Amino acid sequence: MIIKVLLLVVFFAVMLAIGFICRKNSTDVSGFVLGGRSVGPWVTAFAYGTSYFSAVIFVGYAGQFGWKYGIASTWIGIGNALIGSLLAWVILGRRTRIMTQHLGSATMPQFFANRFGGKSLKIAASIITFIFLIPYTASLYNGLSRLFGMAFNIDYSICVIVMAVLTGIYVIAGGYMATAINDFIQGIIMLIGITAVVLSVLNSQGGFLAALEGLAQISDESVSTAPGVFASFFGPDPLGLLGVVILTSLGTWGLPQMVQKFYAIKSEKDINKGTLISTFFAIVVAGGCYFLGGFGRLFNIDVASEGYDAIIPAMLSNLSPIICGIALILVLSASMSTLSSLVLTSSSTLTLDFINPLRGKKEPDEKKNLLVIRAFVAVFILLSAIIAIVQYKNNIAFIAQLMGLSWGALAGSFLAPFLYSLYWKRVTKASCIVCFLWGSLLMLANMFFKSAFPALLQSPINCGALAMLGGMIIVPVVSLFTKAPSPEHIEHTFSCYKQKVLVPVTEALNGSAED
């Protein structure tokens, strides 16, 4: 117990100290929301990764999908690394950084408003962002608090309140820069922690080969009659596994708190470095989490009564105090980094894209904007903490379902219009509106009228994957049948890609050399 307490005290002290040190970088809106667009590759890549992977992944998804698919759940982590990190940086990173700076956009709703004109898209996108980030935030508390309850026997409500207060202090004090630097430190902890936890859990089962052999002996006829299915390459349900890979990997392309990391990166070279760093981080952390969860059936867990969220805590409960303490700090780091990113994104979006447009023509000054954003950070944390406690006390849903609802609605609404807008001049405002309605209403319908959906789509995971893939079809089809943007506006928007820059000949040949 002393080891665990000391680790927590040191962790919290460092986080709070960084928050207050970074106050000097948060004196205006750009500094508070984007760190002045001057964040380096290591910090940005780790901020991306730690915002991506949280207690939802470690406790909720790794436990549930490891139980369902066995060792094949590792494919989810591989998909997160290759699609959610590598391809996201390659396809979105550079163009997002260039166009958002050119259009003066600090948030995703601002980008849609500046890209297509008018306040309606900005207000609609900000409402969707605010509403659907709340259940995701609530799920972060849930996963973290289960581990704290296991390690310290502390009431769930106290865990939620402590985490909320500490995160709120350093985000309100230091803004994006404090969040990003803390994310870097928390990312290092996550890399070390997941490696130590995986090795310890496997060692408790006699090593990797012994654990794999034990998993092959387990059968569950309610899932599959095939022998050794939980130790197989694709598991008992390849189609369901594919849906999870799509939601958790492609979904990051349309999440405001993820895409916003590209807004703040410093330079072209930093994007290239960040791509490699982010991919490596995802392979270790996401791959390690799902690989660990794949061995969940080796432990004596009554999922029917305790739920999927009890699997990972049960796997860790008999480990040494030091490893258990490392696991706590690992999940705390993952949760606080994601929580800080979510509340910063939501509060800045609500202030800049919803409250300010309602003021009319009068724009508030920087100090008032900063004050309102900081106030909404506190409000958002308080609201999500209350929902987390109510959700837990009433046993409303598993962590994975809460996250699936949020990711499906946000990515289903934003992914397609955002991606096409960076590359295709013909995208129309009407197609964005239709896609917003498609993604948000589909996931709301899934939440309230689940029984009316086909069996495959009753899961918010699969429904969220459908929302994203459907948007990729809706945007181009609607764009081709609706009024195109004005040529002048399109020329201005895409002119940022035509600006000339000087580079060394090692990067580009000038074509004028004689034989």
All residues at 6 or more sequence positions from 70 whose CB lies less than 8 Å from its CB, including other chains: 215, 229, 230, 231, 232, 235, 236, 294, 297
In a domain, 503, yes or no: no
Asked whether the beta carbons of 108 and 34 are under 8 A apart, the reply is no
**Hey, what's the torsion of the CAs at 185, 187, 189, 192, to 10 degrees?**
-140
Maximum Cα–Cα distance across the chain? 78
Residue 505 binned pLDDT confidence (cut-offs 50, 70, 90): low
pLDDT at residue number 401? 66
pLDDT at residue number 92? 92
Position 506: which residue type?
T
- Tell me: pLDDT of 153 over 90: no
Q: Given the structure tokens 């508070």, which residue do they identify? A: 32
Asked whether the beta carbons of 51 and 190 are under 8 A apart, the reply is no
Asked whether the beta carbons of 7 and 328 are under 8 A apart, the reply is yes
pLDDT at residue number 341? 80
Q: Which range is most confident: 106-120, 304-318, 320-334?
A: 106-120
Span 80-129, pLDDT tens digits: 999 999 999 999 988 998 898 888 888 888 899 899 887 788 888 888 98
pLDDT at residue number 126? 87
CATH code, domain with 354: 1.20.1730.10
Residue 141 binned pLDDT confidence (cut-offs 50, 70, 90): confident
Q: Report the candidate in 20, 17, 89, 97 with the shortest Cα–Cα distance to residue 52.
A: 89
pLDDT at residue number 275? 92
In a domain, 59, yes or no: yes
- Tell me: pLDDT of 514 over 50: no
d(CA 175, CA 133): 18
Asked whether the beta carbons of 408 and 465 are under 8 A apart, the reply is yes
Q: Which range is most confident: 5-19, 28-42, 151-165, 396-410?
A: 5-19
- Tell me: pLDDT of 292 over 60: yes
CB atoms closer than 10 angstroms to residue 153? 7
All residues at 6 or more sequence positions from 454 whose CB lies less than 8 Å from its CB, including other chains: none
Position 204: which residue type?
S
> Looking at per-residue confidence, does 166 or 37 come out higher?
166
In a domain, 143, yes or no: yes
pLDDT at residue number 362? 62
d(CA 26, CA 35): 7
Q: Give 270's Cβ-side CA count (13 Å radius).
A: 18
Span 407-451, pLDDT tens digits: 889 999 999 999 999 999 999 999 999 999 999 999 999 988 888
CB atoms closer than 10 angstroms to residue 353? 28
Q: Give the pLDDT mean for 156-176.
A: 82
In a domain, 169, yes or no: yes
In a domain, 415, yes or no: no
Asked whether the beta carbons of 412 and 468 are under 8 A apart, the reply is yes
> Looking at per-residue confidence, does 7 or 296 come out higher?
296
Residue 77 binned pLDDT confidence (cut-offs 50, 70, 90): very high
- Tell me: pLDDT of 143 over 80: no
Secondary structure (DSSP) of 398-455: -HHHHHHHHHHHHHHHHHHHHHHHHH-TT--HHHHHHHHHHHHHHHHHHHHSGGGS-G
d(CA 176, CA 49): 15
pLDDT at residue number 112? 92
Q: Give the pLDDT mean for 209-238.
A: 85
Percent of the chain beyond pLDDT 90? 21
pLDDT at residue number 482? 93
In a domain, 461, yes or no: no
In a domain, 222, yes or no: yes
Tell me the whole-structure pTM to 2 decimals.
0.83
pLDDT at residue number 515? 41
pLDDT at residue number 317? 77
Q: Give the pLDDT mean for 353-362.
A: 68
Residue 512 binned pLDDT confidence (cut-offs 50, 70, 90): very low
Q: Given the structure tokens 């598991």, which residue do they identify? A: 235
Q: Which range is most confident: 177-186, 232-241, 265-274?
A: 232-241
Mean residue pLDDT of the chain comes to 82
Give the chain's domain count.
1
d(CA 255, CA 418): 10
Dihedral sign, CA of 45, 48, 52, 58? positive
In a domain, 333, yes or no: yes
Span 468-495, pLDDT tens digits: 999 999 999 999 999 888 899 899 899 9
Q: Which domain holds residue 11?
A: 2-394
Residue 462 binned pLDDT confidence (cut-offs 50, 70, 90): confident
Integer-rounded Cα Rg, in Å, for the chain is 23
pLDDT at residue number 298? 87
Phi-psi region of 409 (alpha: psi -120 to 50; beta: other; left: phi over 0): alpha
Asked whether the beta carbons of 125 and 109 are under 8 A apart, the reply is yes
d(CA 228, CA 249): 27
pLDDT at residue number 82? 94
User: Comparing 184-198, 308-322, 385-399, which segment has the lowest mean pLDDT?
Assistant: 385-399
> Looking at per-residue confidence, does 225 or 492 come out higher?
492
Q: Given the structure tokens 């090795």, which residue do they identify? A: 199
